[in-house]
Amino acid sequence: MRNLLGSFELVVLLAVIQLGEDAYGVPVAREVVRASRRNWSVASVYAALDRLEKKGLVASELGESTPERGGRAKKYFRVTANGLRIARETKRTFAAFWQIVPETH
């Protein structure tokens, strides 16, 4: 159980997995906002990505820069093998509990 992620970190990790090679801050933040239907800030998404990177669940590398970004490089994230394992483990744990949650009251 100690490897389980918080719900926000899990959503961010799943967004990185879903986006694949295009996973840098802007699309990850958009995906997180779309999936969670909450108006998360880009900064809070970065904070979660930073925590995931420190835990070794994602890795990052700097990419190209564009004029729209003020000449700043993009930081691309990709899920690590450990990150995939934790995501699957979290899914299994949640699925086991999910069956006992009633659909309606």
Partner 1 sequence: MRYPPAFGAWLLARTADEALAGDITEEYSAGHSCSWYWREVLLAALMGVMASVRQHRWRTLEATLVAWAFMTAWGLVAANEWREWHQNDQITMITRWVGYFVSGFIVGRYFRFPMIASVLLPLALGVLLRHLDLDLSWMPRPMQPPASRSVDVALCMVLGAVVGTWRTGQPRIVRHGDAIEDTRLRTPAFASHDSSH
Residues that bind partner 1 (CB under 8 A): 24-26, 29, 41-44, 46-47, 50, 53, 60-62, 65-75
Least distance to partner 1 from the beta carbon of 4, Å? 24
Rg of the chain over CA atoms, in angstroms?
15
Work out the angle at residue 83's Cα, subtended by the Cα atoms of residues 77 and 61, and round it to the nearest 5 degrees: 20
Mention every residue, 6+ apart, whose C-beta is less than 8 A from residue 24: 63, 74, 75, 76, 77
Dihedrals φ, ψ of 50, to 5°?
Answer: -65, -45
Q: Which is nearer to partner 1, 17 or 26 (CB)?
A: 26
Least distance to partner 1 from the beta carbon of 90, Å? 25
Q: Which is nearer to partner 1, 72 or 88 (CB)?
A: 72
Neighbour count for residue 94 (Cβ, 10 Å): 12
Q: Which is nearer to partner 1, 60 or 82 (CB)?
A: 60
Q: Which is nearer to partner 1, 53 or 89 (CB)?
A: 53
Least distance to partner 1 from the beta carbon of 93, Å? 30
Least distance to partner 1 from the beta carbon of 27, Å? 10
Mention every residue, 6+ apart, whose C-beta is less than 8 A from residue 21: 76, 78
